[in-house]
Amino acid sequence: MWGVWIAAARPRTLPAAVAPVVVGSALAWRDNAFDGAAALICLGFALLVQIGTNFANDYFDFVHGADTAARQGPRRAVAAGLVSPATMRNATVVVFAVAFLLGLSLIAWGGPWLLVVGVTSIISGVAYTGGPWPLAYHGWGDVFVFIFFGLVAVAATYFVQAGRVSTDALLAAVPVGLLAANILVVNNYRDADTDAVAGKRTLVVILGRRAARAQFGLSLVGAFAVPVLLAWRHHHWAYLVPLLLVPVAWRHARRLRDSKTPSELIALLGATGRLLALYALGFALGLLLSSVQVSLQLGL
């Protein structure tokens, strides 16, 4: 059963939880505000919210009829009969409860307002595919991912360590959110036909695959424009490190355009998650390199 639960956690999507914490923490390091304990708690909370959201998605997509035998992506635990709906629902509650308890400890760093951020993140994780108006079923899934796995996650990670939210923190959150949303684009691109039958109106279903390819490409352009903006803003070459991944991003855009089978899109889904992870590491490296030069300059 461990294999079943690991698959239900959807490892390909987990870079969306790790990347914002890496970027937010690296930015805090650059600003001499890094706190390892706070960063680890943020990472644990982000991972639990991501896994809880995936469990909830597994359960609610089955209940709504979006996951059926006709689905062409990786099998889902409840739809495949590997886990009962009640067990998956209970697992979702447990994961979100642990996330909430872990997040409470961040109040010691960021104050009581973080309780609002944490509760909102968990409620949104459920509302993504559950509740009376599921976000993913009305074309708002991409916006949810951009906001919570980009803006909120990076800014909150930085805030609990630095005690403020800076312009750079908001700028750094944009590419993370865009690349995280691209993971969803690939997933929904693959499932567009079965989603349409089930009444799950993702942006791909509403606007079509051509628009989805345009969204994917524009998100890549936006993600790689931010390091250029930061390099210009701070007059430092190190912020350009993520641009080493531009050829990889270009290949991803072409793969999405040329993909003909579900297996090709499943492979691209994993590659899109890896691109986010590599981008976050490159972005973090650029921030660390810029901090080293600043320290040397101050020493001189």
Please give the backbone phi and psi of residue 228, each rounded to the nearest 5 degrees, phi first. Answer: -65, -45
Position 72 confidence tier, pLDDT thresholds 50, 70, 90: low
Q: Say if CB 245 and CB 278 are below 8 A apart.
A: yes
Examine the pLDDT at 154 and tell me if it is beyond 70: yes
Domains of the chain: 2-293 (1.10.600)
What pLDDT does residue 73 have? 64
Q: Say if CB 106 and CB 95 are below 8 A apart.
A: no
pTM of the model as a whole:
0.91
Give the single-character DSSP code of 84. -
**Interatomic CA distance for residues 77 and 73, integer angstroms:** 12
Of 69 and 249, the one with more pLDDT = 249
**Interatomic CA distance for residues 62 and 76, integer angstroms:** 9
What pLDDT does residue 65 have? 79
* Alpha-carbon dihedral sign for residues 138, 70, 178, 47: positive
Joined tokens for residue 56: 């909830």
Kindly give the residue spans of alpha helices, DSSP state H, lying in the chain. Answer: 2-8, 15-30, 36-63, 85-104, 107-110, 113-127, 141-146, 153-162, 167-198, 203-207, 209-234, 246-258, 262-299
**∠ CA 80-202-199 to the nearest 5 degrees?**
65
Encode pLDDT of 25-62 as tens digits: 999 999 999 999 999 999 999 999 999 999 999 999 88
Residues in the chain: 300
What pLDDT does residue 300 have? 39
